[in-house]
Amino acid sequence: MTCARPTLGPEDVAAIGALCKCALNWEVLLESANRHGVSPLLYWHLREQISQAAPSAPMQLLRARFEKNAYRNLFLTGELLKVLDALKDGNIRVLAYKGPVQAALLYGNLALREMSDLDLLIEPATFPAARKLLLGLGFKPALRFTPRQEASRLRSDCEYEFVSLDKIVCLDVHWNIAPPHMGQVFYFDDLWQRRGTLLLGGRSLATFSAEDLVVILAVHGGKHLWKRLCWLSDFAKCLQAPNLDWAILRTRGRAARAEGMLLLALSLAQGVMDVQLPAELSIAANANPALQGIATRIERNLFRPELNVETDVARWLALLRLSDSGWDGVRRVARFAFGSGPREWQTVSLPDSLFGLYPLLRIAALLRQAPSLLFSRSPAPAERQIRMQKT
């Protein structure tokens, strides 16, 4: 877990060196690093700090992974620049994030972050024009939808997946940060007005401000209950931005109806990544018993993959507890329970004339998962207290 931290202190280096001299199970370590998307960071820290203490075979495997990831990231960066040039020529405002942008912005090195696709945020009204341009560049929709499904996706989701004809490049075009059923609220014009710039491949790219990126990463990680360390590593690194305005960070979270998710992310950054928070934010994160219970469960299951697979119902009950208000929670539950999406559409193929039956299929699937909640254990008060003392 220490090697997942963006930067290491002297005590971290000493601790890792001591561990490498022990009888480590390198097979488990490499599998866990791969699953959590932190193999590049693991290799980088071991190579830079204590390579002489690590066995040669695992280091060779990590090096091969590192180089393969670096080559792919350079290729994806080139593809991103081509897409951004086309959108610019089409007068489409776009904010690039995740992928190469996040690697360069947070780590200053494209090789230190794994990436599987490219992500862009555009204005909702410009999606038809952006889609036409992407089709002209050789991209196609990753999934096939009927007309009713397509209309529903554009209305009830926040992104649309495209893939290159050779299926090598995946491109996610977002028109919002989170889908409506999540309850968060972001406005493109506000994000654009506060945008920052990044020099990448000799080009100046528009991306999110430091404060907006913190909130956006908190929402992304919270939506998935922080199942991967790479997300926490990105978030912790984002908190180290020299221009981050801590005073307005919580205000931005509240404005986006994401204060609960922001505080959860801050609590995990403090507890897992050893990030030092301002006193006000640390107190706010640790004072919420429901939030601390979720954080404890996430930390406890982080390296126990058999317990880190939450059912949809369990995940959404946790997200419900993170809602900024009771009304937000009610809306999340209603939209989640009565909506439908690609999962249902790909599982059962119905003609558009029967499209209205998909919510019933979704409810049936949720009811099948509900009994598993009876066997899930919430963190005991003692566990929460131990964590609060630790942080």
pLDDT tens string 262-295: 999 999 999 999 899 999 999 998 888 889 999 9
Return the pLDDT at 305: 61
Q: Report the amino acid identity of residue 193.
A: Q
Quote the Cα angle for 92-89-197, to 5°. Answer: 65
Quickly tell me which residue has 């949720």 as its tokens. 366
Return the pLDDT at 390: 42
CA distance 246 to 223: 23
CA distance 370 to 353: 30
Give the chain's residues under pLDDT 70: 1, 6, 23, 48-53, 305-314, 333, 336-337, 366, 369-391
Q: Report the amino acid identity of residue 3.
A: C
Return the pLDDT at 3: 73
Report CA dihedral (369, 371, 374, 377) to the nearest 10 degrees. Answer: -20
Quote the Cα angle for 319-220-131, to 5°. Answer: 120
Return the pLDDT at 306: 54
Return the pLDDT at 370: 58
Q: Are 299 and 274 in contact (CB under 8 A)?
A: no
CA distance 75 to 85: 16
Identify the DSSP state of 297.
H
State the pairing for strand pair 139-141/159-164. antiparallel
Identify the DSSP state of 319.
H
Q: Where are the alpha helices (DSSP H) in 50-139?
A: 56-89, 99-102, 127-136
Q: Report the amino acid identity of residue 259.
A: E
Report CA dihedral (167, 169, 170, 174) to the nearest 10 degrees. Answer: -140
Mean per-residue pLDDT of the chain = 85
Return the pLDDT at 321: 80
CA distance 81 to 99: 12
Return the pLDDT at 386: 41
Return the pLDDT at 334: 72
